[in-house]
Chain A
Amino acid sequence: MIKAPRVELGDGEVMEHAVILVEDGEIVTMGQDLPVERGIPVIELEEGQVVMPGLVNPYSRYGMSGGGYNDSRPQVMASAELYPSAAYKVFLENGVTTVGQYPAGQGIPGQAVAVRPKGETAGAMIVEDSAYLKVVMRNSSSAKRNLRDGFKKADDHLKKVAKEREKFDKAQAKAKADKKKSKAVFVPPAADPRIQPFFDLREGKLRALVSIRNAASYAHLVDAVGEEDFEWHLRVPLTRDIDVFHVTEEVGERGCFVLMEPLITLVPGTLRQRNLPAEFERAGAKLVLLPRTDSKAGFESFLEDVGVMIGAGLDRKAAVRAITHNPASFMGLGERLGSLSEGKRANLLIFSGDPFQPDTKLDAVMLDGKFVSGDMDQ
């Protein structure tokens, strides 16, 4: 049981004088000024300390190695690359309790996996496989072809199956006419493994994360998607100056998740600053903030960087959502983690003060009800 003077819930709201009861790695009860039963060990936090949900970084390759290809390989699973290593300790040390790891490469490199950065085996680390399909979109015919052809091949396969089915039915009818009893069961022709992800996209079993480079690639993405109806979100790297502000309105109207770094960028070719994360958030997009670089240094300065963005006009509540609840629900884990309420995993961080202040220390990290980092004794 934790008694905390101040808890960031992850959805942007704050609960004061909260009591959190953790059992079996899960938050069992949570509320304001709840009576504390005797016999349960209580961690009483000091005034000024803040509890926050564990950070969720849905887009990282830290701890993985190797490169990828330039074509369409949507069947590739990042989980196949996964192995427990010391690298994952870095996530925990910096308060990241859930990580989305994606396969390397351009084109359509494959499917990401959501992991908890602790476990003896890769299997124990996996929280959810097929978290999303990574797609790289550029203003080039090859990038558009990757996407279009994927769905086209899926259509072709359906046609092929329908044809086989017809043949089979005919054969059955003939067998019946000949009064032969046949127990044949229709076996559809095997699909190319590269096709299945596109069926999954259509059926809503899989979501796509499309990495764009500029406003033009967004326009080409919309063109390439055309009438196809599937869930897609955007990865917009702000590591260099980018002109995506041209499409802020359209993206906001879609209301999709937008993954960005907490960086102030310049309008290309000028010295005009723009706070793109804040602009997209205001326009209606669901903001997800990522460390500035996918490295230890990036993780270490992450909360401070987010704090800078808040100072530059990003809504504070939105900023909290953008590093906890939003990335979790982007990966389809919003019901399980990313915020603090009854029934959620007990992934939480204890800070010495406001998490976004540079002098604040991360006192402890709890993953599934156990302290895994920091100097807090249970």
Chain B
Amino acid sequence: MHLRTNQQRRASRPTWLLMAASLFLAPTAFGVVSIDDEPAKEAGTEDEEDKEEILALVGGEIHTGLGGVLRDATILVRDGKIEAFGYDVDVPEEAEVVDVSGMRVYPGLIAVGSFGLFGSSGSLDDSVDPYNQNMTLALAAGITTAVEGNTVAKLKRGHVDGLVVNSAAFESMSYSNGNPQGQLKVEADLKGAADYIRAYRAWEQEKKSNKEAKEPSKKGVDQKSLRVLRGEVRPRFNADTRTDLLEIARLAQRFGFRPIINGCREGWTVADELGRAGATAIVTPRARRPKDESLLREGGSSIENASILYEHGVNVVVVPASRGISLGGIVGQDLLHLPVEAGFAIRGGLPELAGLRSITIEAARVLGVDYRIGSIELGKDADLIVTDGDLLHYQTFVQWAIVDGEIVYDKQAEMFFAHIRPRPETALAPAEKMDSGEEAPADAPEADPEGDSEGDSEGGDDEKPVTDEASGDGGGEEPESSEETAGESGD
């Protein structure tokens, strides 16, 4: 297995003590259970212990995702939330310390569309496979949150509860030039909702002077349109062509809502209109489609799409062409390459920070979960990734992924990438070998068969903690000169 073993072992010890204590307190309660009942019956207590864990990432270059970069700084995580980060962070003794010097810490990435990361379909809480390989691979790509269907969920490896962040991510709307009847319906619905809101406000005013005033009837008012116009949700459209984009932009401006536009291939040709409409575009920079040659005006895909949209005030979110983890078909354009996809937006001229934001905080905003995730800010969920280089560089590896303060991915403990450019010794005290099948627990030699260890390979790495408690330099040697505090770096 991976990292969790270490945490769990640590967590389980006090659990056993607790259990022993409870046995003494209430001997009758455990009276008649069978021979094989060991004290470790409940699993619940273990989780509580886990939550008390404090994690400190020491010595990394922290990219908050909002523009702030703190070199050689520390992040302290408690109860799954970011408690402190900066240069003068006190690391408590009981904290699990990971030395990330020479590495970068980013907020965990968010994929606004995915499939196959959570296992089988159905209710996510009851059907998730938290050990499936796609989840591990997505974490290896730096993704800590993904949308499956219409549900925003975290990639909490090894957990079956607490994954869902938002169960209604999008409110889909269709408004396409190809379906004029549908367009009329959408317009009528929005108009009805707008009229209702106007009447309602008028009534609210009138009510103050005239108690007899009648509340306007909700009858026949489209609820979805109402929620959109009240700003409770942002509708998502699928649109790629210039005509559709223009019409959506104008509809949005006419009724005063901010659309999310998925695709937005020809957005660069009408970027000013989209910008005025306050749109957010979910784009795939590497999408390739030639223009419609029967039309004179500009069209087709452009590598500069993201950049031009951004310049005109459109918020840009990036997704790869394939929303799964795949090695077939369009290789290199799946979720494993989400950061690379954002890198291509930068290749087209998007500023680097906007590139990072396009797969973190902007994605979180689109999903309505930016109050919890998407950037490194105090009090936000500790969904972090540690990389050995620039996140958007294609050679960079995610070394650790952390979800809710728990290390759920460790490159050296998983078999996928451990052998490629193994983590340098300086970054981590105990030299870790990769997970190789049969293991011989280092801490339980008495359980070992006397002479039977021949045959299978001896991995035995799992047990090694990733923590670097021995080095003891956590927080001590940070330059004290800088006065930059954690709070300032936000926004």
Contacts and interface: CB of A to CB of B under 8 A. Distances in A.
A270 B459 CA distance: 15
A313 B133 contact: no
Interface of A: 139-141, 144, 204, 207, 214-216, 219-220, 222-223, 226-227, 229, 231, 243, 245-246, 248-250, 253-257, 264, 267-270, 272-275, 278-279, 282-283, 286, 310-316, 329-330, 332, 334
Contact of A310 (B32, B132, B452): B452
B126 A141 contact: yes
Of A253, A268, A274, A315, chain B has the most CB atoms within 10 Å of the CB of: A253
Interface in B30-55: 32-38, 40-44
A250 B8 contact: yes
A313 B449 contact: yes
Nearest to A334: B35
A204 B1 contact: no
B131 A214 contact: yes
Contact of B128 (A216, A243, A272): A216
B33 A282 contact: no
B455 A312 contact: yes
A32 to B, nearest CB: 23
Interface of B is mostly: loop
Nearest to A269: B133
Contact of A314 (B119, B128, B449): B449
A254 B132 contact: no
B8 A220 contact: no
Nearest to A217: B129
19 contacts: A139-B119, A139-B120, A139-B128, A204-B34, A216-B160, A226-B44, A229-B41, A231-B34, A246-B1, A246-B158, A250-B8, A254-B38, A268-B133, A272-B415, A273-B438, A313-B452, A313-B454, A313-B455, A315-B452
Interface residues of B, number: 49
B36 A329 contact: yes
A139 B127 contact: yes
A62 B478 CA distance: 69
B457 interface: yes
A216 B452 contact: no
A274 B5 CA distance: 17
B138 to A, nearest CB: 15
Interface stretch (B63-71, B224-232, B418-426, B439-447): B439-447
B254 to A, nearest CB: 43
A255 B43 CA distance: 13
Contacts of A254: 38, 40-41
A316 B1 CA distance: 25
B161 interface: yes
B437 A267 contact: yes
B288 interface: no
A140 B38 CA distance: 29
Given A253-B38, A314-B449, 13 more contacts: A139-B126, A139-B127, A144-B126, A207-B34, A216-B130, A231-B33, A243-B131, A279-B439, A311-B452, A313-B453, A315-B449, A316-B449, A334-B35
B480 interface: no
